[in-house]
């Protein structure tokens, strides 16, 4: 291959003028190795709008938050406050079987089953952390799916500090609820 002494050819000469600007989106089909069929594409998207890929990922994330709520709609809350997960074909709680007392997550599925029916008092009685998590799942799932549909944030995304605080708060409430159940025999 002979050495290339001059500047790379202009994109218009290779692509027939395919470089174009479309509003705030610029697509460039230039490449230094065009004969090798390596084409680079640069897309600059307005920062306040999501790309199709970002929208799909947001919708998927929202679906992951909402899917357990849909499953909870199909379950009948166990009147004992725990054991609803057995309707999914799961075994009874191993912690209860081994130690004769509830584990920190006992009643979480029952809590979600109550929450999706709007019975928040029963949800809190089954597992306080589970009720909080169900509420966060409903809010986060809705926010992500609507943001994906709009192509921009419905409201500003929370900071990492807020996300960590919420997660630690749910864990703390779950553990405090469990300790209270152990202490007071509920």
Residues 21 and 112 reside in one and the same domain: no
Give me the mean pLDDT over the 28-34 stretch. 45
Domain that holds residue 33: 1-44
pTM exceeds cut of 0.75? no
- Mean pLDDT calculated for residue range 49-58: 92
Interhelix angle 128-150/52-73, nearest 10 degrees? 140
* Position 41 pLDDT exceeds 50: no
**106 and 17 in one domain?**
no
Specify whether 166 is located in the same domain as 122.
yes
Rg (CA), the chain: 27
Question: Are 156 and 84 contained in the same domain?
Answer: yes
CB within 8 Å of 31: residues ≥ 6 apart: 38, 39, 40
**Count of structural domains within the chain:** 2
Co-location of 116 and 155 in the same domain: yes
Render pLDDT for 80-135 as a digit per residue (tens, 0 to 9). 888 999 999 999 999 988 998 889 999 999 999 999 999 999 999 999 999 999 99
- Residue-level pLDDT at 82: 87
Residue 177: its pLDDT value, please?
A: 93
Q: 24 with 88, same domain? A: no
Question: So what's the pLDDT on residue 87?
Answer: 94
Give pLDDT, residue 27.
43
76 and 109 both lie in a single domain = yes
For the segment 128-149, the average pLDDT, to the nearest whole number, is 95
């Amino acid at each position: 291959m002979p050495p290339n002494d001059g500047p790379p050819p202009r994109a218009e000469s290779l692509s027939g003028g395919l470089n174009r600007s479309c509003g705030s989106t610029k697509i460039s089909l230039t490449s230094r190795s065009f004969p090798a069929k390596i084409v680079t594409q640069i897309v600059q998207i307005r920062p306040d709008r999501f790309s199709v890929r970002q929208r799909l990922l947001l919708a998927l994330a929202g679906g992951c938050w909402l899917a357990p709520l849909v499953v909870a709609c199909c379950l009948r809350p166990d009147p004992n406050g725990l054991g609803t997960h057995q309707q999914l074909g799961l075994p009874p709680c191993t912690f209860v079987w081994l130690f004769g007392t509830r584990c920190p997550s006992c009643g979480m599925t029952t809590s979600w089953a109550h929450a999706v029916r709007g019975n928040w008092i029963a949800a809190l009685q089954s597992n306080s952390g589970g009720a909080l998590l169900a509420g966060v799942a409903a809010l986060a799932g809705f926010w992500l799916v609507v943001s994906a549909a709009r192509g921009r944030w419905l409201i500003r995304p929370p900071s990492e500090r807020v996300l960590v605080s919420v997660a630690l708060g749910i864990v703390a409430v779950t553990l405090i609820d469990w300790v209270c159940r152990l202490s007071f025999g509920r």
